[in-house]
Amino acid sequence: MLEHINTILGTTYTLNASISSLLQSFIDKNRDFGIAYAYLRRRWYGQGEPECRIDLATMKDKLRSWEAKDREMRRTVVRKGRIISRYIPPRRVWDLFSNRVVPWWVACHGSRSVLSHAWLDKKDRILVWTSINGKEWPVPLPAGVDLRLIRIELLELECEYVWLDVLCLRQEGGPREDLRLEEWTVDVPTIGGVYFPNQEFAAPERVVYYLNGLGRPLGQVVDMDSNRSWFRRAWTLQETNTDYSIAGETDAGPMQDYARERFEEQISRLKGIMSSSIRLPGLLSEMQARVSTTVIDRVAGLAFLFWCEAIPTYSTSQTEEEAWSTLLDAISWKCRAELFFFYPEPGNGPTRTWRPTWKQLMAGTRGFPPADLDPKHSMTEYVDIDDGGDHHFGCHIKEAYIRGLGEFDTDHPAEVRKGKLTIRPGEHTFDIAVTHHCLIPDGYYMIIGASEVCPWELKMKYWVVGKLRSNKFEKLSIFHIPDERDRKRLGRLDVAFVDLVTRREQDKIYLW
């Protein structure tokens, strides 16, 4: 073993007690030369980054220490059913130089890349047992695809370490199914962090995309709109990155050009959503057209993009609605406020009915997001959660009369329906409007306004209308005040504001 390492790395070490003990530790664990080379090549004197170089006399202890540290990090990362960091390093990476899958910490500042692809239908896949992953589980591959050719293509792209799900994420069919379920609890919902720059571990230098299935050339005829297309899968939404390479390209052709054009359109669209101060409506809209094999994956595929500080763990025993409710509890107060102020209907679930159900959101609702939503709008309102339930703290008017929004022409529905809002005392009247089809019968209501908004000219534009029932606000719908002059006039009445500094407990409004 030492002779092979010396030959490959150009060193002339001779066997001594330290080196013998180090190499014997791999033999004792039945690890082959490829694994030993993967662990040692960046830490062998004269190789790798300075911070990776270790005295051979202490290398065995150092490797053991890093392994223990990684194990402890993964053991303590889950608290109360949530993963406490958005960015958990991937458990494993594929070392292309040694052609072995190794723990991520072995990479030690090496160049990391990530692969993104859509899985083919089960009937079009084969299962391959390979020494690359130590034969810990069968690797699902498209029929006719060879991992050796994928490795060659990636090496030609100057990749060194790669995260590829079929090799680095424990798959079904191995002898340790219990371990797969345990690992997936954390590994699956944190996949998104592998594709984006972060502060916890080195960001990928590039994301490599196979748009026609893993290892398959783009030149083949492929339906880009099928349920198996990369553009239609739930998980690939969070895998879209602006630093990319497209693999599988052969001679230029119409299919290749079309795929690249579609991909660049998606990047541009998602970049626009993620750079907006209000991203939740756009992301939900993107997910509507996507499909997944496991029902909860469309929900789980949004957790990272919603910027949850603590991501819910992954469990296939949940229904879509259970997973959605869990995710709503975990997302930021700002994202919950976006649903509260911009979704035009109450939820149709059995509890917490201000929240739209997953089924409602995926069916698509006219007027969500509001057609008049200003791109400059920055929501600083919140819907928070405490022991008493979901609540909002902000401006509200307990008695307001609304008229003119109780009907619409079903044959010729208007894009914008207009009504009137009357506030007491003084019978002050304001023009209001909606861009949805939800009816608001004429009558008195409690209304809650988005007062903490930036920039100033959009303050008090968006409102939620409902009734106070058993000291809780029951949402009916939403409206907006389109004219800035009306909004300023309402503000001067000083009937809607609460003290946003002291935030008194009695001003907190709990929601049905």
- Where in the chain are the domains? 2-72, 79-292, 362-511
Determine how β-strand 396-403 pairs with β-strand 443-449. antiparallel
pLDDT tens digits, residue range 404-438? 999 988 777 778 999 999 998 778 999 999 999 99
The model's confidence at residue 42, banded by pLDDT at 50, 70 and 90, is confident
Per the CB < 8 A criterion, the answer to whether 341 and 383 are in contact is: no
Residue 275: is it exposed, middle or buried by C-beta count within 10 angstroms (0-12/13-18/19+)?
Answer: exposed
| pLDDT of res. 374 | 67
Residue 469 has pLDDT above 70, yes or no: yes
Q: CA angle at residue 384 from 382 to 387, to 5 degrees? A: 160
- Cβ atoms of 461 and 379 within 8 Å: the answer is no
Highest mean pLDDT, choosing among 92-101, 251-260, 422-431: 92-101
Over residues 489-499, the mean pLDDT reads 78
C-alpha dihedral sign at 422, 423, 427, 429: negative
User: How far is 369 from 350, CA to CA, in rounded Å?
Assistant: 24
Give the lowest-confidence range in 15-19, 116-120, 126-130, 284-288.
15-19
Give the DSSP H/E element, type plus range, for residue 141.
strand 139-142
Distance of CA 426 to the CA centre of its chain: 49
Instruction: State pLDDT tens for residues 195-250.
Output: 986 655 666 888 999 998 999 988 656 678 889 999 999 999 999 888 888 998 76
Least-confidence region, from 70-79, 268-277, 335-344, 354-363:
268-277
